[in-house]
Amino acid sequence: MNFQGKLDHLVKKNNSLVCVGLDSDFDKLPERFKKFKNPQFEFNKWIVDQTHDLVCAYKPNSAFYEGEAMKGILSLKFTFHYLKKNYPEIPVILDAKRGDIGNTNKGYIKFAFEFLQADAITLHPYLGKEALSPFLERADKGCFILCRSSNPGAGEFQNFGEKRFLYQYIAERIVKDWNEIVC
């Protein structure tokens, strides 16, 4: 089943639009999890086991795992594996905000969709549709494209414009020109 099918199924099954971010900042983990070999994974597993019937998706943020080097990447992989094995109907979105030239994106795709087996990924549109086409061509996967962020300084560039803000223009272009299913 593709990403959209999984998401639609779980939204209906769990009557939920809740996506839980697994932003497991190592420094903020409860002490009881830090005694484990893979603390971030154990913390994520605990969250998943407590919430699996209340969500429509999970969204681990790659930065928290990358920041812990190999141990963090393993915890991220273990989290994806645990979800795929124990809760395969729940879509998992890799929050990585990737977006680069085509060849680089192919490496990101390999990591996200082959190694981690993510159902979807977050992307940024700055390099345009052509650069993101390796992601967009994956009809089985979901792409969440950043238009407007919530950080305090976001308006510095995202609110640029006279009649419309830049983020509004980006959202419109994505909906009108990029929002298609490629078969």
Would you place residue 140 in the very low, low, confident or very high pLDDT band (cuts 50, 70, 90)?
very high
Beta-bridge mates of residue 173: none
Predicted confidence (pLDDT) at residue 181 exceeds the cutoff of 60 = no
For the chain, what is the mean pLDDT?
A: 93
pTM: 0.93
Domains in the chain, CATH or no CATH each = 3-153 (3.20.20.70)
Q: What pLDDT is recorded for position 163?
A: 85
CA distance 45 to 155: 36
Q: What is the mean pLDDT of residues 2-9?
A: 95
Predicted confidence (pLDDT) at residue 3 exceeds the cutoff of 50 = yes
Would you place residue 157 in the very low, low, confident or very high pLDDT band (cuts 50, 70, 90)?
confident
CA distance 39 to 96: 21
Would you place residue 156 in the very low, low, confident or very high pLDDT band (cuts 50, 70, 90)?
confident
Q: What is the mean pLDDT of residues 12-22?
A: 97
* Radius of gyration (C-alpha) of the chain in whole angstroms: 17
Which residues are catalytically annotated? 97
Q: What is the mean pLDDT of residues 63-76?
A: 96
